[in-house]
Amino acid sequence: MHEPLKAAVIHNGIEGLDGLYPDSAFMVYNRISVAYPVQLDISQYDVLIVPNGSDHVFMECIKDTVEAFLAAGGVLCCFDGWFTPWVPGNRWVMDNSRRTIDVRYKVVSDPYGFMKGIDIDGLNFSNGISGWWACGYIQPAAEAIVVLEDTWHRPLLIVDEHSTNGTMILSASAPLSDSTYATTDDDASMQAVAGIYRNIVEFMHAKKYAYEKS
């Protein structure tokens, strides 16, 4: 087994973030607190995680740092709605023209196995309401892979390996972590959300060591 990846988790002090990213054999985490003046060095990390509920004013302030991180081959995971323009090549847009009750998640393309072993109904339903909480949609870069879309074919989970030298894994504010955000106590939903995240972690881990080997 290779060494675990090192991940930085952006933390803006919101309740509930601690405990969502427990260390595993694949990844160990450090919290990066939002603070000014910005003195940030993320070059030693493999992965930068921007969790649900993050500070996108701060992320815009460190846009150049993120771009340098990606240029060096890093992996960016943003599981939030980035309303400021800090994610290279991809845009998130909020939208309330569709009803949440009508949302059904659909796999479009899954070359890296993010949805392996996942019961998609765990995303669609939880205790009779939605089992996941994607909001709005992504306007992806032209060469990005759309993994999941909604009822109206709008991208919700994408992988972009072309806009930068690194990898971007982006959700339309759909929370992904080793746990869930207490929006559900339905076991099927918790398993689905955590399962996708673990599949993503395994993909990132395998990709890094395949790259180093090559």
Partner 1 sequence: MKNPEIALVFNGVWSHYSFAMSPKYSSFYQLVYVHDLPATDLSAFKSVVIPFQSNHAVLGSCRKQLYDFLAGGGKLFVEGDSSATWLDAVWEDRPVNNYWWVTHPDQPPVTATDFTHPVYQGLMPRHACWHTHGAYTRVPDHARILQRNSAGEIITWETDAYGGTLLATTLDPIVEHGVQQITHLDHYVDRLTAWLCGAQPEGAFAIDEADYGRSWN
Measured distance CA(207)–CA(205) in Å, rounded: 5
Start-to-end CA distance of the chain, whole Å, equals 17
Q: Give how many residues touch partner 1 by CB under 8 A.
A: 42
Q: Is 18 in the site for partner 1 (CB under 8 A)?
A: no
4 with 24: CB under 8 angstroms? yes
State in angstroms the smallest separation of the CB of 8 from partner 1.
17
State in angstroms the smallest separation of the CB of 59 from partner 1.
8
CB under 8 A: which stretch of 20-28, 78-86, 163-171, 195-203 binds partner 1? 78-86
Measured distance CA(180)–CA(17) in Å, rounded: 10
165 with 69: CB under 8 angstroms? no
| For residue 37, cis peptide bond before it (omega within 30 degrees of 0) | yes
CB under 8 A: which stretch of 76-84, 113-121, 155-163, 199-207 binds partner 1? 76-84
Q: Is 151 in the site for partner 1 (CB under 8 A)?
A: no
- Residue 63 or 207 with smaller CB distance to partner 1: 63
Q: Is 129 in the site for partner 1 (CB under 8 A)?
A: yes
State in angstroms the smallest separation of the CB of 201 from partner 1.
24
Could you say which DSSP state residue 14 is in?
-
Measured distance CA(74)–CA(44) in Å, rounded: 10
CB under 8 A: which stretch of 58-66, 68-76, 105-113, 116-124 binds partner 1? 58-66
Q: What is the CA radius of gyration of the chain?
A: 16
Given CA atoms 174, 175, 178, 179 in this order, what sign does their dihedral have? negative
Q: Is 13 in the site for partner 1 (CB under 8 A)?
A: yes
Q: Could you give phi then psi for residue 60, rounded to 5 degrees? A: -65, -35
CB under 8 A: which stretch of 95-103, 107-115, 161-169, 199-207 binds partner 1? 95-103
Among 93, 143, 153, 187, binds partner 1 (CB under 8 A): 93
Residues near partner 1 (CB under 8 A)? 12-16, 34, 36, 53-61, 80-85, 91-96, 99-100, 126-130, 133, 135-136, 173, 182-183, 185
